[in-house]
Structure 1
Amino acid sequence: MTAVRSVILGCGAYLPEKILTNDDLARMVNTSDDWITERTGIKQRHIAAEGELTSDMAVAAAEQALERAGRRPNDIDLIVLATSTPDNTFPATATTVQARLGIHHGAAFDLQAVCTGFVYALATADNFIKTGQVKRALVIGSETFSRILDWDDRGTCVLFGDGAGAVVLEAQPARGDDTDRGVLGTYLHSDGRYKEMLYVDGGPSSTGTTGHLRMQGREVFRFAVNKIAAVIEEALEDHKLGASDVDWFVPHQANQRILTSTANKIGLPDEKIVITLDRHGNTSAASIPLALNVAYEDGRIKEDDLVLLEAMGGGFTWGAALVRW
């Protein structure tokens, strides 16, 4: 029996022009380059310009992904946009992207799983493709996290940046084993008991305001390392694979210590980790596709490479995906 796989045909990315360095932040809040670098691994982040929206960045990333995939906007049947920072409460920012790309058919919606958003969006689009409901999908992560930061809170404002990344998925026939190109498996989890550790203290229903990001950093770190390692092991065991079978580990870019601790826990060598944290900061749902794009552009990720994705975000949500490039 012939299987159907969601194959990544192309990826794209967009970063705002403005760069905010650690030294810049040291002039805004009680911090220093050494303090930020030692605790996070971040050296700089990109910040959206005044009037630059989540949809603007999403469109730019999507257009590049479409061009590299050799597909036109009208070839797309579905847009899933992962974001925690939409243009408006409604409509979905994905519909704005759909309109600006000139797509007048299919479906477009936002998905909110915070930093795990891209993995959730990839899983959602993959399932639409596998059930035969759509042929091609755009999966986008786009965030303007700078708009929900408390710039007086050095524990959070130093961590985050803005940006967008996208991939084009297409249904293609396959053998149905792990040598297939495409999404091989996705693994999603959440546990709402931990909301107070990482959340935004505002919203239309609660305060009528946008609010600011709040985080208990030490608790998040402990939870992240354990849960991320567990979901990675789940994914590998499900496919009877080991860490040595993975060509590239493309994690959510949250914190250098989390990335290193997770890789060490599952036995992945540092040279297999794609890290953009130092240049991008934590861009939430955009961080994985931004990192994928960097590794594609510099030639690290090649056709048939096995790529492991993982993320954890507020909720808590966490998940992993195995993709044959």
Structure 2
Amino acid sequence: MTDKKSVSSSAVGIVAMACCFPEKILPISEICLQEGIDPDFILENELDIGQVRVFEGEWRSDPAVAAAKECLSRAGLKPTDIDVIVDFSVLPQDYVVPAWSMSNKIQYDIGAEHAFNIGFGGGGVTNLLAAFKFVSALIKADDGVRTALLIASDVSIPRNRVINPDQPMTILGDGASALIVSDSADVLEILETEISSDSSRHDVFNIPGGGLAHPDRIDLYRVKIDPLKYSVSSSFDALKQLSRKAADLAGISLDEVNHFIGPNISGKDQSRFAELFHLSDADPFGKNRRQYGHVQATDLVINLSDFLEKQAGRMREFGLVCSHGWGHSSGAMLIK
């Protein structure tokens, strides 16, 4: 039985975070050899990724179970304290989605018997921001919901780590993450979350094979990004507008935001973030990108964890967590 709370006074935030990465490390040179790509081509496209982690287990949901258990431990909570579980994964896991959701299995594996489950898909890294927006609103509005567990596990399709080999845009690593969001948070408060979707780019990021479009084309069962539908300028323009809107709703200027936390897609992508937000430190989380590659929305959890470590003992400052979602689904979340 949860305590009653006031919608107007509830401050919702992130209580704990945890990531789980496979032990096996695969250097970029070996990935290029496996996928028939010239390593110099990777350098030419300014990906700035040195290695990735590779999952070799049976069930792709297992890393998310481990991350969830670690996150609960860090928060000092029991599985029965969880009211809702949200899956923000991007890539397919144990079974075909959306007929199956990993959040259902996580509930069973950790024993969160009081929770209900939901999943967000189709938004790339912005899946996590959609999850934040949903649980923040739900916790503030529903007296029966106080604590949410957000989880993801993303494992690459075999021989599909270099996305768009003819014009490489990123290199995928494997990993999982979990976060606890609650109205009793005193660590990282979620102030505003703004999201927008451009439906004309609904298929900019997709796996063409294996679905109804090409049910028998297993050769097309691989992630691709349509370069004709991904517009750098419009994607980053949309992100800037959302960021300003989030700041306005919080009653501050975007100039008052001290930290900008984005995904680890590539060195080139980060340079665009730095230019967009006039960052004094152009690549604050570059070591994470070089060590793990692009692990979908788990990128944000890795970088948020770094952000918290750097802020330990300091006066609380504003931060913006953002994603362009390859132009289809953009999001900006203001934190403090």
One-letter amino acid of the counterpart of residue 124, structure 2: V
Deviation at 1:115, TM superposition (A): 2.1
2:136 counterpart residue number: 126
Measure, in 2, the Cα distance between the counterparts of 1:247 and 1:116. 21
**Contact 1:14 1:164 (C-alpha < 8 Å) held by counterparts:** yes
1:214 counterpart residue number: 224
1:195-243 Cα distance to aligned partner (Å, 9 max, x none): 4533221354333367211123484434433322232222223324344
**Contact 2:162 2:171 (C-alpha < 8 Å) held by counterparts:** no
1:310 counterpart residue number: 322
**Contact 1:199 1:314 (C-alpha < 8 Å) held by counterparts:** no
Farther off after superposition, 129-138 or 223-232 = 223-232
Distance 1:76-1:40 versus aligned 2 partners, 3 A rule:
same
Distance 1:152-1:280 versus aligned 2 partners, 3 A rule:
closer
One-letter amino acid of the counterpart of residue 99, structure 1: Y
Deviation at 1:192, TM superposition (A): 2.0
1:288 counterpart residue number: 300
Deviation at 1:25, TM superposition (A): 2.1
1:172 counterpart residue number: 184
Runs of 5+ unmatched residues, structure 2: 1-5
Measure, in 1, the Cα distance between the counterparts of 2:281 and 2:303. 15
Runs of 5+ unmatched residues, structure 1: 175-179
Selected match of 1:136 from 142, 147, 150: 147
- Over the matched positions of the two proteins, sequence identity in percent amounts to 21
Measure, in 2, the Cα distance between the counterparts of 1:227 and 1:194. 13
State how 1:187-198 maps to structure 2 within 5 Å.
187-198=194-205
TM-score by length of 2: 0.83
- Say yes or no: does 1:7 pair with 2:13: yes
State how 1:7-156 maps to structure 2 within 5 Å.
7-28=13-34, 29-32=36-39, 35-36=42-43, 39-53=46-60, 55-84=61-90, 85-89=92-96, 90-112=99-121, 113-132=123-142, 133-147=144-158, 149=160, 154=165, 155-156=167-168
Higher helix share: 1
**Contact 1:77 1:135 (C-alpha < 8 Å) held by counterparts:** yes
**Contact 1:253 1:282 (C-alpha < 8 Å) held by counterparts:** yes
Measure, in 2, the Cα distance between the counterparts of 1:92 and 1:315. 25
Measure, in 1, the Cα distance between the counterparts of 2:272 and 2:169. 23
2:263 counterpart residue number: 252
**Contact 1:243 1:268 (C-alpha < 8 Å) held by counterparts:** no
Distance 1:36-1:62 versus aligned 2 partners, 3 A rule:
farther
Distance 1:9-1:201 versus aligned 2 partners, 3 A rule:
same
Measure, in 2, the Cα distance between the counterparts of 1:60 and 1:173. 22
Higher strand share: 1
RMSD (Å), alpha carbons: 2.8
Measure, in 1, the Cα distance between the counterparts of 2:168 and 2:278. 30
